[in-house]
Structure 1
Amino acid sequence: MDTPTANPAHTTIQGAAQLSEEKLELLTYWRTFVKHKLTIFSLALAVGILAAVVVYMMRPIYRATAMIQLEDNNAKVLSIEQVYSSLAHGSEHVQTQADILRSRTIAELVLTKLDLVHNPEFSPGRDLTWLAKAKIALGIAHPPTVSDQPGTVLGELRAHLTIAPVPRSNLIQVSYDSPDPRMAALIANTFAEQYIRNDMENKFRMTQEANSWLNEHLAGLKAKLEASEQRLQTYRNQQNIIDVNGSALSGTGNQLEGLVTNLVTARMKMAEAASAYQQIRNAQASGTSLDSLPLVVRDPVVAQLEQVVAQKQQKVSELSKRYGPKFITMIQAQAELQQARDNLKHQVAIVVSSIEHAYNEARANVQALSGAVAEVRGSIRQANEKQFALADLQRDVQTNQQVYDMFLQRFKETSAATDLTKPIASVVDPATAPVVPLRPHKARVIAAALLVGLLFGIAVAFLLERLDTTVRSTEEVGLRLGQPILTTLPLLKDHDHIGRRYLADPHSQFAEAVRTARTGVLLSAIDQPHKIVVVTSSLPGEGKTTFAANLALAHAQTKRVLLIDADMRKPRLGRELGLDDDLVGLSSLASGEREAKDCMRSVPESTLQVITAGAVPPNPLELLLSQRFQETIAALSREFDLVILDSPPVHLVSDAIILSTLATGVVFVMKANSTPYQVAQRCLRALQGAKATLFGVVLNQLDFKKAESHYGDYSGYGSYGKDAAGYYMKESS
């Protein structure tokens, strides 16, 4: 399926239309400006003149500026932070000094230095309001005196002072505003001088205070140091402390270490002896032979004696085989065996006794060593306690000595300080009397006032344009009334014989416009050979009678035309055409008093027939509603090709609505730049409610020059007109 593509020509047309609308909108703004240019420039000029008057009446204010530079000050009394509480020269320091310059203290110093209370510029009553002055004149209030001034002068002095730190530098601008340029320079320089002087005085005072304070505290610190030293020495004497470096304590520690080592060895020996002793006790308790115990057997004497016993026993055993028990040899061998056994038993007893003795000795040794260790430990504990107390006293002495030395050093520095006289800042650029005032900037203020006045005038112009509800161009006829434009009549300067202007100047722009309207009427209801046309308007004075007369004269050149003055309330058609007033007219014809031929009058130099209103009847509306009037109009329309009725305005009476029901069509005349379009809309709706056929709207008395300049409305007749008949004309290029 093919996708439809956009028509390039159609796209181009849409783009051109959009661009045209934007250009038209800009052109509308421009035309509004041109239309109200007199108002705009008048307002701008008025505002500019008013601003100039105000500016030149104002007293000029001059600003003098002194530049000061903050210096690096490294003075030390105690310390920079302790004595002066100052910060490094950074942005915070510069801002702090700027705030000091703005302080009330500096302002009071300047006020006193220059005696500004008695200065005429700060005189009492200089800025009194008219009400205060009136009260003083009437005796209700007392004039201010010098005694009332200090607070007021101080506030005014600080109000005109400007302190501005220069970014990323140690510079500060001190500015003062005053009507007197010399006074402005004097006050700015005095502020800088008093700021530097006040800082130096503060430093000197703080140095003296610090020196006095240090001097007061040195005596107390010295006494405190001596007391702490005395306490330290007394403690040493009481505790018999000689080795202050801890050598005695280290010897006691070595002794304790040896005792602990010996105690461990003794406990090991005691454990071995206790084990042997326990074996003997166990053997004795169980009745086991002691000579069979390993610890006894290991004794070399016991081992040797056991061998002797074995040998003697073997000998007895051998002899018993040969001898009897009573044999001397046998008895002797038995005695030797018994002797050997007794020796063994005695030696076993000795070994057991030695084991018991070794156990008791080892236990006694352990007890002795344990007591010695405990005694040494107690000595070390006492030594440690003494050492701690000694260290505490030493620290107290050391601290007091340091504090005393520091205070003594600071006291010497404070007494011998020479850099405290160094100023915190210096004036690098003194203020001079300015030549050009700070304010008001006359040219700038006047230029701004002119610009504001111009903008205000433009706003007023657009507001007036919005509030203007009249119809000002042919384009607005269609936009606001929704009706076609039949023709546009130019604004005429000369109103003499205006009802016959078509005949008097047939080649004028006015005549061309009337002929355009004639063509429009002829083309409307073209199938009807006999037409009845009603010419009306919203309000009086819109030119409907003049247009009706000239339209009738234009039609009379080619057709049989009857012009009827149907405005029987305020008739003026006869005067417009230069006809004499006659009481015979439409009122007589409608009432049946006269025939039509008796009421008709001819216009010189034309075939036009006219029926004037005649005598003003008491009831015009009833005559128009009568059957006879309707029959009369119908009869006249059959006799003439065109019958034109000049009717009263629609907005005031309903005569025109009645007449529109008898007419072929209605021509609605509207005065340009005069009639509100809302009124015209209501009248047109009333005619449409009566089923009237509207041929179109005639825009009357339009200034073509202004219309073309303001709204882009071009008459179209400039190339044909001539500037000889008393009307405005625009020649086409």
Structure 2
Amino acid sequence: MPENADIEPALAGTLLNNVSITPIINSTLVDISFSSPDPQVSARIANAWADAYIAENLDRRFGATRDARSSLEEQLQQYRQRLEEAERAVIAYATAQGLVSIDVPREDGDSAGTASQTLVATELAAFNSALQQATTQRIAAEAALAARSGANAGSTEASATADALRARRAELQVELAELRSRFSPSYPPVQALQVQIDELERAIREEQAGAQSGSQSRLRANYNEALAAEQRLQAQVNRLQANYTDQRQDSVEYNILQREVDTNREIYAGLLQRYREIGVVGVGESNVLVVDPAQVPGGPYTPSLIRNLLIALVAGLVVVILGLYAYDFLNQTLRDPRQVRDRLGLNLLANIPRIDEGDIVEELQHSYSELYEAYFSLTSSVAFAAGGSMPRSLMITSSQPGEGKSLTAVAIAYLLARQGKKVLLVDVDLRKSGVGKYLSIDTAQGMSQYHMGKDDWRSMVLPSTPLEDFHVIPAGRKPLSAAELLSSGRFQRMLDEAEAEYDHVVIDAPPVLGLVDAPMIAPSLDGVVLVIEANGGKWRHLESAVSRLRASNAELLGAAVTKLDERNAMYGYGYGYGYGYGYGHDRKKEGEEEGLPA
């Protein structure tokens, strides 16, 4: 038994999880299919589902009728027994108490209905009516006798007696008319009044006749006879009234039992009518039919190798795309150079590609190289941003070290010198100079010694090699406090003198974040260019650097994005920048063939 209890839930789950019921659009058909490793089992279970549904549908349609019929049969049997018991109780009680009831017409004049009352009540009503009639006869006889006894009084007295009888008849006629307006002519009081009126009319006629020829003895005899009849009827009425009073006390319990009988009879009649309306309902036929039974499949429909491969491919692509978007969303470095304007509010001056460290100087020396073209574009953009001409003094800085500011300063100085300008490159990054990586500098003298008191800055000017045609002042030895040296005011004096002797002065300044050097000297220069490393510069660092430069009233001309590579290809940057490597190589070959200098 415990084993069956464990197996049944598993079987139910298997049947429910593997069945598929699909409605066919624009029809009343459904398609039932079942999946299992055995084709025979699949067909049998699919047909079993259809058969089970048809059986359930029949039971649902006719089960309610069968239940209602069974319930009505039980209630009919129950109320039949109650009705029989109530009728037996009424008959037994009436027999014990001597109650005999008869049916009489209703007093409202409805001939179709009858009312039940006891025999004593019926007899009392009849005797009471007869008593009223006898009393009327006795009164009429007494009046006739009195009239005859006073015959000697003359015809005037006889006429007075007749008038009294007529007055009495008029009063009774009024009462009769009032009763007839409310009751039927068969009502006993109505009949009694009618009898009295008839007797009064007969007495009036006799009075009129007796006035001429009446016999006093005959009138006396009539009176005695009427009085005796009245007394007998009065005695009988008195006896019946006593019996009726006793029976009224017994009728209270009798009426209670009778109402119980009537209630049970009405309920039983209603249930019997409902039972007849339901009738005998047959099972009939189902309104659900099997159009095509399930057939044994000729081969498996799953798994499908091609479908699974396509699903895996699509799922893999979705996961990769979502991963790339998530990485791009979570990555806080600059990926798209176009965001420079949106997030920093700066002009994008140029996009500089990533070049191997060993090839940088060589790339700059070749005018057809991608690096040369990029920095040439930067030089032009700086001139445009400055109002159409290159600033006399230009500071190159970055938010943090290693973003390419020193290379940018060297490249701008070199390109300006190739345009025939007299250019001085000043390295004021006293803490960590980067100009020496691109130029051959073998002296310890530089800006640090100038700020410490040596006035002749011109003696520190060196020619640039291997990139020629411009001068450079190196940073010199690393001082203990670069910020104090730059704040002495000697830098401004040297800058004014250099601007008087050179066309352009390019300043390689320290990074902005964490140092006060760049914001301190930036207001003294005609323009500032911020260098940003692609895929490396954090947005929060860049925003902080721009905020510090603006707070120092620096003339920010824009930003140059450096070290673009294949990671930025999806934004339209990276390899293939500018004219592309292929076009550059073609120009190199053309230069070699024509003997042009590199």
Report whether the alignment pairs 1:482 with 2:345: yes
Question: Pairwise mapping of residues 292-691 of structure 1 onto structure 2 (< 5 A)?
Answer: 292-294=153-155, 351-367=215-231, 460-485=323-348, 487-499=349-361, 501-504=363-366, 506-522=367-383, 531-557=392-418, 558-577=420-439, 579=440, 581-591=442-452, 592=454, 596-597=458-459, 599-604=461-466, 606-626=468-488, 628-691=490-553
Question: Pairwise mapping of residues 689-708 of structure 1 onto structure 2 (< 5 A)?
Answer: 689-703=551-565, 706=568
Contact 1:586 1:613 in 2 (8 A): yes
Contact 2:370 2:579 in 1 (8 A): no
Contact 2:441 2:474 in 1 (8 A): no
Q: Measure the CA separation in 2 of the matches of 1:166 and 1:361.
A: 107
| 1:174/1:357 CA distance change after superposition, 3 Å | farther
Contact 1:488 1:702 in 2 (8 A): no
Contact 2:353 2:562 in 1 (8 A): yes
**Cα offset, 1:365, TM superposition:** 3.9
Report whether the alignment pairs 1:273 with 2:141: yes
Question: Pairwise mapping of residues 166-181 of structure 1 onto structure 2 (< 5 A)?
Answer: none
**Cα offset, 1:280, TM superposition:** 5.6
Q: Measure the CA separation in 2 of the matches of 1:725 and 1:494.
A: 17
Deviation digits for residues 287-310 of structure 1 (CA, Å, limit 9, x no counterpart) = xxx534559999xxxxxxxxxxxx
Q: Measure the CA separation in 2 of the matches of 1:524 and 1:451.
A: 48
Q: What SS does the aligned partner of 1:533 have?
A: strand
Contact 2:22 2:32 in 1 (8 A): no
| 1:441/1:253 CA distance change after superposition, 3 Å | farther
Deviation digits for residues 339-377 of structure 1 (CA, Å, limit 9, x no counterpart) = xxxxxxxxx999433332221123224445677899999
Moved more, 615-624 or 642-651: 615-624
Q: What SS does the aligned partner of 1:603 have?
A: coil
Report the counterpart of residue 308 of structure 1 in structure 2. Answer: none
Q: Measure the CA separation in 2 of the matches of 1:297 and 1:494.
A: 167
Deviation digits for residues 655-687 of structure 1 (CA, Å, limit 9, x no counterpart) = 323432443322211122321222122222222
Q: What SS does the aligned partner of 1:496 have?
A: helix
**Cα offset, 1:456, TM superposition:** 6.0
Report the counterpart of residue 151 of structure 1 in structure 2. Answer: 5
**Cα offset, 1:423, TM superposition:** 13
Identity of aligned residues (%): 26
**Cα offset, 1:275, TM superposition:** 0.3
Q: Measure the CA separation in 2 of the matches of 1:493 and 1:508.
A: 11
Q: Measure the CA separation in 2 of the matches of 1:174 and 1:716.
A: 60
Report the counterpart of residue 724 of structure 1 in structure 2. Answer: 584
Q: Measure the CA separation in 2 of the matches of 1:364 and 1:611.
A: 171
**Cα offset, 1:453, TM superposition:** 6.5
| 1:703/1:294 CA distance change after superposition, 3 Å | same
Normalized against structure 2, the TM-score is what? Answer: 0.56
Q: State the one-letter code of the partner of 2:584.
A: A
| Matched positions, count | 454
Q: Measure the CA separation in 2 of the matches of 1:725 and 1:652.
A: 43
Report the counterpart of residue 203 of structure 2 in structure 1. Answer: none
Q: State the one-letter code of the partner of 2:475.
A: A
Q: What SS does the aligned partner of 2:438 have?
A: helix
Q: Measure the CA separation in 2 of the matches of 1:677 and 1:165.
A: 56
Deviation digits for residues 4-53 of structure 1 (CA, Å, limit 9, x no counterpart) = xxxxxxxxxxxxxxxxxxxxxxxxxxxxxxxxxxxxxxxxxxxxxxxxxx
Contact 1:538 1:680 in 2 (8 A): yes
Q: Measure the CA separation in 2 of the matches of 1:174 and 1:714.
A: 58
Q: State the one-letter code of the partner of 1:541.
A: G
Q: Flag structure 1 segments of 5+ consecutive residues without an equivalent.
A: 1-116, 118-147, 200-209, 211-216, 242-251, 284-289, 299-347, 404-419, 728-733
Q: State the one-letter code of the partner of 1:477.
A: V
| 1:722/1:155 CA distance change after superposition, 3 Å | closer
**Cα offset, 1:544, TM superposition:** 1.0
Q: Measure the CA separation in 2 of the matches of 1:556 and 1:350.
A: 181
| 1:159/1:291 CA distance change after superposition, 3 Å | same
Report the counterpart of residue 416 of structure 1 in structure 2. Answer: none
Question: Pairwise mapping of residues 88-237 of structure 1 onto structure 2 (< 5 A)?
Answer: 149-162=3-16, 185=44
Q: What SS does the aligned partner of 1:356 have?
A: helix
Q: Measure the CA separation in 1 of the matches of 2:327 and 2:301.
A: 40
**Cα offset, 1:632, TM superposition:** 3.7
**Cα offset, 1:548, TM superposition:** 1.0
- Answer 1 or 2: higher relative contact order, Cα 8 Å, separation at least 6: 1
Q: State the one-letter code of the partner of 1:355.
A: L
Q: What SS does the aligned partner of 2:358 have?
A: coil
Normalized against structure 1, the TM-score is what? Answer: 0.47
Q: Measure the CA separation in 2 of the matches of 1:704 and 1:457.
A: 18
